[in-house]
């Protein structure tokens, strides 16, 4: 056995088998590779609107205090969120992105003795955090690309500790009706935690706010983020809302200063900037219409999406199309790793970015 095999075998079995998360290709990387200057990235469901000027101002004001540790309790941001959501601050847990919350949930509640239920085509982080702690994943076949909650309920057994539901789901954009979700929650044993990942909540035009269900379902944990509609992906702020007892447990596991001080003030400013959010949602609605009209024109099927992205079916291997788009300076997301090798996921951008993507896709498809 070589030295590197010996070193590798020191890791937990689950970690040895992990396949790292594949992020969207960074613009700088494509620039280095191809020497292109005009690059658009519609690959990571970021907000193309750019940073809110109110956020920039808040960060600038906080710069002189960077020698101090951040407020490890996140007091001010939690107070603002609690008022915004009409919950108590002790129901909130702040994370370095909602990704960190997903990881905290795994470290707090999972072990090699338990299993986790989630859907096929669901967000890639669920299998990662499950496997990293050695728990078993029960992946349930999707129904029309969405979560099949009846099959998911049937997959829950006496060893199930947690269920992940992405609503809307990434990369499919599918969303569940409130009545369906509530029926699932009613059917779930109280000893099974239900994590409702609402990273795209602000875009989703949800009929009901699941935060109002928390008093009825003590095993419900809702996660949300500032990365998507609030435009703070680069700063990493997410949070969960749940029963205070569960929040207390998560708090024991998290790093004491998991949110840096600039992220904390930025999120607070972003939460107050209602105009930015409204502008974001309006831009997303019109951009979604722009893209789907183009797909229609090109004779391509797409999955109706409640997020700030849409997955289109190219009816052939998507990878060559993805690569041809890169040559034209357009970065989108191939999703073969989600068992969707014929789809590309496109994040909704500004109107001119969407137009550049449509022109590039039209040219690539005509060439092939
Ligand atoms: C983007 C995303 C997240 C987390 O993003 P953070 O930047 O870590 O907050 C969580 N869930 C889904 C489904 C996502 O698409």
Q: Using the mean position of ligand 1's atoms as its centre, give its distance from the Cα of residue 165 in Å.
A: 12
Q: pLDDT band at 1, cuts 50/70/90?
A: low
What residues form DSSP beta bridges with 330?
Answer: 40
Which of 335, 354, 331 has the alpha carbon at shortest distance from 344? 335
Residue of 125, 199, 228, 234 with the most ligand 1 atoms within 8 Å of its CB, for mutation: 199
Q: Give the per-residue pLDDT at 37.
A: 83
227 in contact with ligand 1, CB cutoff 6 A:
yes
322 in contact with ligand 1, CB cutoff 6 A:
no
Q: pLDDT band at 22, cuts 50/70/90?
A: confident
Q: Averaged over 177-206, what is the pLDDT?
A: 97
233 in contact with ligand 1, CB cutoff 6 A:
yes
- CA gap 167, 220 in Å, rounded: 14
98 in contact with ligand 1, CB cutoff 6 A:
yes
Residue of 197, 309, 338 with the most ligand 1 atoms within 8 Å of its CB, for mutation: 197
Mean pLDDT, all residues of the chain: 96
Q: pLDDT band at 84, cuts 50/70/90?
A: very high
Which structure tokens are listed for 210? 């699941």
Taking each helix axis as running N to C, give the angle between helix 261-272 and helix 53-62, from 0 to 180 degrees, rounded to the nearest 10: 150
Q: Averaged over 122-133, what is the pLDDT?
A: 96
β-strands 238-241, 92-95 pairing: antiparallel
Q: Averaged over 42-57, what is the pLDDT?
A: 97
258 in contact with ligand 1, CB cutoff 6 A:
no
Residue 72: its H or E element: none
Q: Using the mean position of ligand 1's atoms as its centre, give its distance from the Cα of residue 31 in Å.
A: 26
pLDDT by residue (tens digit) across 197-213? Answer: 999 999 998 889 999 99
Q: pLDDT band at 355, cuts 50/70/90?
A: very high
Give the closest residue (by CA) to ligand 1 atom 1: 199
What's 282-307 look like in SS3? HHHHHHHHHHHHHHHHHCCEEECCCC
Cα–Cα separations (whole angstroms), residue 258 to 25, 70, 133, 222, 362: 26, 9, 20, 19, 44
Model's pTM, two decimal places?
0.96
226 in contact with ligand 1, CB cutoff 6 A:
no
338 in contact with ligand 1, CB cutoff 6 A:
no
170 in contact with ligand 1, CB cutoff 6 A:
yes
Name the percent of the chain lying above pLDDT 70. Answer: 100
| Between 15 and 360, the higher pLDDT residue | 360
pLDDT by residue (tens digit) across 130-167? Answer: 999 999 999 999 999 999 999 999 999 999 999 999 99
pLDDT by residue (tens digit) across 286-331? Answer: 999 999 999 999 999 999 999 999 999 999 999 999 999 999 999 9
Q: Give the per-residue pLDDT at 308.
A: 98
Ordered structural domains, the chain, with CATH:
21-50+275-367 (3.90.1150.10), 53-272 (3.40.640.10)
Which structure tokens are listed for 134? 């050695």
Model confidence at 368: pLDDT above 80: no
259 in contact with ligand 1, CB cutoff 6 A:
no
Cα Rg of the chain (Å, integer): 21
Q: Using the mean position of ligand 1's atoms as its centre, give its distance from the Cα of residue 77 in Å.
A: 19
Residue of 170, 258, 309 with the most ligand 1 atoms within 8 Å of its CB, for mutation: 170
- CA gap 236, 337 in Å, rounded: 24
Q: Give the per-residue pLDDT at 4.
A: 87
Q: Using the mean position of ligand 1's atoms as its centre, give its distance from the Cα of residue 119 in Å.
A: 16
């Amino acid at each position: 056995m070589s030295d590197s095999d010996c070193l590798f075998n020191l890791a937990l079995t689950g970690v040895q088998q992990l396949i790292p998360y594949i992020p969207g290709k960074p613009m700088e990387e494509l620039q280095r590779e191809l020497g292109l200057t005009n690059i658009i990235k519609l690959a990571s469901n970021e907000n193309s609107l750019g940073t809110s000027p109110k956020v920039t101002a808040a960060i600038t004001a906080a710069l002189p205090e960077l020698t101090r540790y951040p407020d490890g309790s996140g007091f001010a941001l939690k107070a603002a969120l609690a008022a915004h959501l009409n919950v108590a601050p002790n129901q909130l847990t702040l994370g370095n992105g909602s990704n960190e919350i997903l990881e905290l949930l795994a470290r707090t509640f999972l072990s090699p003795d338990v299993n986790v239920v989630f859907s096929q085509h669901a967000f890639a982080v669920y299998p990662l955090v499950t496997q990293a702690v050695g728990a078993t994943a029960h992946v349930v076949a999707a129904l029309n690309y969405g979560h099949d909650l009846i099959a998911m309920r049937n997959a829950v057994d006496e060893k199930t500790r947690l269920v992940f539901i992405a609503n809307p789901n990434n990369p499919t954009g599918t969303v569940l009706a409130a009545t369906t979700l509530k029926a699932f929650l009613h059917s779930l044993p109280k000893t099974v935690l239900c994590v409702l990942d609402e990273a795209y909540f602000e875009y989703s035009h949800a009929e009901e706010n699941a935060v109002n269900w928390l008093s009825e379902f003590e095993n419900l944990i809702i996660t949300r983020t500032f990365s998507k509609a609030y435009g703070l992906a680069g700063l990493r702020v997410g949070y969960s809302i749940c029963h205070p007892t569960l929040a207390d447990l998560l708090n024991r596991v998290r790093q004491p200063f998991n949110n840096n001080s600039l992220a904390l003030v930025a999120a607070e400013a972003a939460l107050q900037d209602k105009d930015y959010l409204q502008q974001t949602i309006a831009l997303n609605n019109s951009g979604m219409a722009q893209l789907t009209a183009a797909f229609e024109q090109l004779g391509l099927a797409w999955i109706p999406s409640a997020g700030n992205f849409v997955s289109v079916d190219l009816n052939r291997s998507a990878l060559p199309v993805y690569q041809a788009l890169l040559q034209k300076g357009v970065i989108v997301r191939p999703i073969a790793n989600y068992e969707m090798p014929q789809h590309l996921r496109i994040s909704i951008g500004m109107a001119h970015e969407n137009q550049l993507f449509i022109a590039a896709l039209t040219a690539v498809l005509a060439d092939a």
